[in-house]
Amino acid sequence: MKRVTLIGGMLLLLFGLLASPCYAKSKSASLSVKIGQMLMIGFRGLSVADAPEIASDITERRIGGVVLFDYDVTSQSHGRNISSPEQLSRLTLELQKLSRIPLFIAIDQEGGKVKRLKPACGFPESVSAEHLGQLDNADSTRAAALLTAKTLKAMHIGMNLAPVADLNTNPDNPVIGKLQRSFSADPAVVTRNIKLITNTYRAEGIIPTLKHFPGHGSSTTDTHRDFTDITASWSEKELEPYRLLIASGYRDAIMTAHVFNEKLDPLYPATLSRATLDGLLRGKLGFKGVILSDDMQMKAIADHYGLETAIQLALDAGVDILVFGNNAAYDPTIASKATDIIKSLVAQKIITPERIDRSYRRIMRLKNRYHLNCR
């Protein structure tokens, strides 16, 4: 009797999966849809009416995600996408309503100095990773993570580009240590706190994103501004949080770093490095989730590679989602340009349809796991 019940349950599960809208569409999705799902785009505007370009990107190019900012770097102005909880809630609902495949709506809400949801706009205060690492107290870390998760959930934001898994090996690092973004120089402290945070996020339906692989904590320069070489400062110890978390079952999302590390690849920075992403992260560490690039418009990439070359190398390396924050630089046509480039690479047989399909399936698995079901 137990065996019959078990078999029956498995059949029901299989039939349910086959009947699910996202699964059915994944089998017949066009190349355009699959490419669109591999793009995460930033935009200007407090409402969809303010941002016709992103509306077209969602409805016509079928992009898979958007990323939100409170401050516009190129115009040096506040209020880019966020002015109040009421406004932001309306915006995210408007965006989701446009998309047949629900969007990853993403934000950098690390806490402390790096947060897009600020008290000045009516959001709760938050503490830094460094503060939590110094406390190294499970209750404190869970409470901070729960506050962040509930705040994001109330705003219909389903993906946090956090927590930071970088080790604080260089406290003078201008983009990690000095901004208090790392939990600790001790991999055990970093891993312990990240595990608490990611478990809390998952319980609230928020997708976590570990960053910046393979480690940005030892750098002396900022990849937003320039080429960043960590060959002399990086050590394998910086892989420990990833190694331990992946071994314990982490399979959500990981964001790359644009850092150059000759120890891992003598030619390319991590985002563009097959040895680093496909060889190390997927091969040696066994990561089966979604790989996001850091912002492809940051100067460490944009000032050294043309757009087509950067996209080709990132896809060849194993990136699943190309992030164009449209904040380090602003180009309202970037999604259209990226789409055309990827289609051209496929047409020229430089990138295979099978390669696109692998990323698409990983993206859809993550969306389905967090109940972002197609409509």
113 lies in some domain: yes
4 lies in some domain: no
Per-residue model confidence as pLDDT tens digits over 102-112: 999 999 999 99
Q: Kindly tell me if the per-residue pLDDT of 222 is higher than 70.
A: no
Residue 87 domain boundaries? 40-369
The span from the CA of 37 to the CA of 61, in Å, is: 9
> Which residues participate in catalysis according to the annotation?
224, 294
213 lies in some domain: yes
Six-digit token string for 369 = 């796991």
The span from the CA of 309 to the CA of 294, in Å, is: 16
Which DSSP string corresponds to 144-164? HHHHHHHHHHHTT--EE---B
> Which of 252, 265, 257 minimizes the C-alpha distance to 238?
257
- Cβ contact 221:178 at 8 Å: no
- Cβ contact 64:118 at 8 Å: no
Query: Is the N-terminal amide bond of 214 cis, ω within 30° of 0?
Result: yes
Phi and psi at residue 43, to the nearest 5°: -155, 165
CATH number, position 322: 3.20.20.300
Per-residue model confidence as pLDDT tens digits over 94-145: 999 999 999 999 999 999 999 999 999 999 999 999 999 999 999 999 999 9
206 lies in some domain: yes
83 lies in some domain: yes
Q: Which helix (H) or strand (E) holds 68?
A: strand 65-68
Q: Structurally, how many domains does the chain consist of?
A: 1
294 lies in some domain: yes
Q: What was the pLDDT predicted at 311?
A: 97
11 lies in some domain: no
Six-digit token string for 220 = 């002396």
Q: Kindly tell me if the per-residue pLDDT of 21 is higher than 50.
A: no
Average pLDDT, the chain: 92
Per-residue model confidence as pLDDT tens digits over 352-366: 999 999 999 999 999
221 lies in some domain: yes
